[in-house]
């Protein structure tokens, strides 16, 4: 990995927030070979809890930025706290010795202008939106850089996010709001589909455990089939759907005017609107 030469003990990665997503990212970087001594972690849970949770041996952990003392200028500062705690981090921002540090934020809805007001418009900032399958290296991240971020910055951010899955670039912060609503929240829609299919199976007469096993394994298996197949989702769907058969009967309901397509569109628009409300 090319980024190992840029992130070292003397140019560390500063990870602010080592919860679900920050922790998943860190695990991905360490698994890819980044040395723990090249990482400094800030999280109010403190050293022993974070070291235990993330099975760390050598990474330095501090409860907040003011405890960090003097550190070399980080090559990357990763903001992985909940959006509502970004203001707390900004208050302590003077403790971060920024030189040519890349600022990489995964905080939903926290726009470039907030970072630029705090750290300066000349700072390269990348906003990235991963999702929870990152915890098993199967995430999908979309990212975008501000005006000061060059190709090298985008490449470095891409390499870091690629340690937990696939990465693509988007061209506007508005697109990133849509990404947040689609793939950021998307795993919850899939899990709800499992719940809905299992509940429908129970309504149709199956025992709850049997219905849940069938729903879960069907969606897990179908997801893996989609991943390993060269065919588009629509073609895979058509191949299960015989004319006049059972699947077609079900799809007539799901594909009706007020069916799943309409519901999903409404759901994603609601999520996008809510994301905007939270960020304003």
Ligand X SMILES: NC(=O)c1ccc[n+]([C@@H]2O[C@H](COP(=O)([O-])OP(=O)(O)OC[C@H]3O[C@@H](n4cnc5c(N)ncnc54)[C@H](OP(=O)(O)O)[C@@H]3O)[C@@H](O)[C@H]2O)c1
Rounded Cα gap, residues 143 and 168, in angstroms: 6
Q: Does residue 189 interact with ligand X by CB under 6 A?
A: no
Options 100-108, 164-172, 213-221, 267-275: segment touching ligand X (CB under 6 A) = 100-108
User: Which region, left, alpha or beta, applies to residue 214 given φ > 0 means left and ψ of -120 to 50 means alpha?
Assistant: alpha
Query: Is residue 90 part of the contact set for ligand X (CB under 6 A)?
Result: no
Which of 14, 89, 125, 164: binder of ligand X (CB under 6 A)? 89
Parallel/antiparallel/unpaired status of strands 60-62 and 165-169:
unpaired
Q: Which residues pair with 145 in a beta bridge?
A: 126
**Near ligand X by CB under 6 A, which window of 67-75, 83-91, 159-167, 236-244?**
83-91
Q: What angle do CA 118, 180, 17 make, to 5 degrees?
A: 50
User: Looking at beta carbons only, is 21 or 154 nearer to ligand X?
Assistant: 21
Quote the least distance from Cβ 209 to ligand X, whole Å: 28
Strand residue runs (E) in the chain: 13-16, 39-42, 60-62, 76-79, 102-105, 125-129, 139-145, 165-169
Residues 212 and 195: their CA atoms lie apart, in Å, by 7
Question: In the complex, what is the shortest distance from the CB of residue 105 to ligand X, in angstroms, rounded to a whole number?
Answer: 8
Secondary structure letter of residue 26 according to DSSP: H
Q: In whole angstroms, give the CA distance from residue 74 to residue 39.
A: 9
The distance of closest approach from Cβ of residue 20 to ligand X in the complex, given in angstroms and rounded to an integer, is: 4
Euclidean distance between CA atoms 71 and 190, whole angstroms:
43
Please identify which residue in 21, 56, 103, 215 interacts with ligand X, judged by CB under 6 A.
21
Compute how many other C-beta atoms are within 10 angstroms of the C-beta atom of residue 206.
16
Q: Rule CB under 6 A: say whether 93 interacts with ligand X.
A: no
Q: Which of 11, 19, 175, 274 binds ligand X (CB under 6 A)?
A: 19
Which residue is closest to ligand X by CB? 19
> Does position 80 bind ligand X by CB under 6 A?
yes
Interatomic CA distance for residues 174 and 179, integer angstroms: 9
Task: Give min distance, CB of 211 to ligand X, in A.
Answer: 27
Calpha distance 220→193 (Å, rounded): 11
Q: Could you tell me how many residues of this chain bind ligand X (CB under 6 A)?
A: 27
**Selected binder of ligand X within 14, 16, 59, 160 (CB under 6 A):** 16
- Each residue 109-148 as x (binds ligand X by CB under 6 A) or -, in order, gives --------------------xxxx----------------
Site residues for ligand X, 56-75, by CB under 6 A, read 64
Provide, rounded to whole angstroms, the least separation between the CB of residue 23 and ligand X. 7
Point out which residues bind ligand X (CB under 6 A): 16-22, 42-45, 64, 80-83, 85, 88-89, 106-108, 129-132, 184
């Amino acid at each position: 990995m090319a980024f190992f030469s840029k992130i070292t003990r003397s140019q560390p990665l500063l990870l602010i927030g080592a919860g679900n997503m920050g922790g998943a990212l860190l695990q991905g970087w360490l698994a890819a070979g980044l040395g723990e001594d090249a990482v400094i972690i800030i999280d109010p849970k403190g050293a022993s809890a974070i070291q235990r949770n993330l099975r760390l041996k050598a990474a330095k952990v501090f409860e907040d930025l003011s405890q960090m003392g003097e550190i070399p200028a980080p090559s990357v500062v990763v903001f992985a706290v909940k959006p509502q705690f970004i203001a707390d981090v900004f208050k302590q921002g003077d403790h971060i010795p920024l030189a040519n540090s890349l600022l990489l934020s995964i905080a939903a809805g926290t726009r470039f202008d907030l970072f630029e007001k705090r750290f300066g418009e000349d700072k390269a900032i990348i906003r990235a939106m991963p999702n929870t399958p990152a915890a098993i290296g199967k995430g999908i991240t979309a990212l975008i850089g501000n005006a000061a971020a060059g190709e090298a910055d985008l490449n470095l951010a891409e390499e870091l996010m690629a340690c937990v899955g696939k990465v693509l670039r988007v061209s506007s912060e508005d697109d990133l709001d849509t990404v947040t609503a689609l793939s950021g929240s998307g795993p919850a829609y899939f899990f709800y589909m499992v719940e809905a299919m299992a509940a429908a199976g129970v309504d149709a007469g199956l025992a709850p455990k049997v219905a849940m096993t069938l729903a879960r394994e069907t969606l897990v298996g179908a997801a893996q089939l989609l991943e390993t197949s060269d065919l588009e989702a629509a073609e895979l769907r058509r191949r299960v759907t015989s004319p006049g058969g059972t699947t077609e009967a079900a799809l007539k309901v799901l594909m009706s005017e007020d069916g799943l397509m309409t519901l999903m569109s409404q759901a994603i628009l609601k999520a996008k609107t809510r994301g905007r409300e939270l960020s304003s």
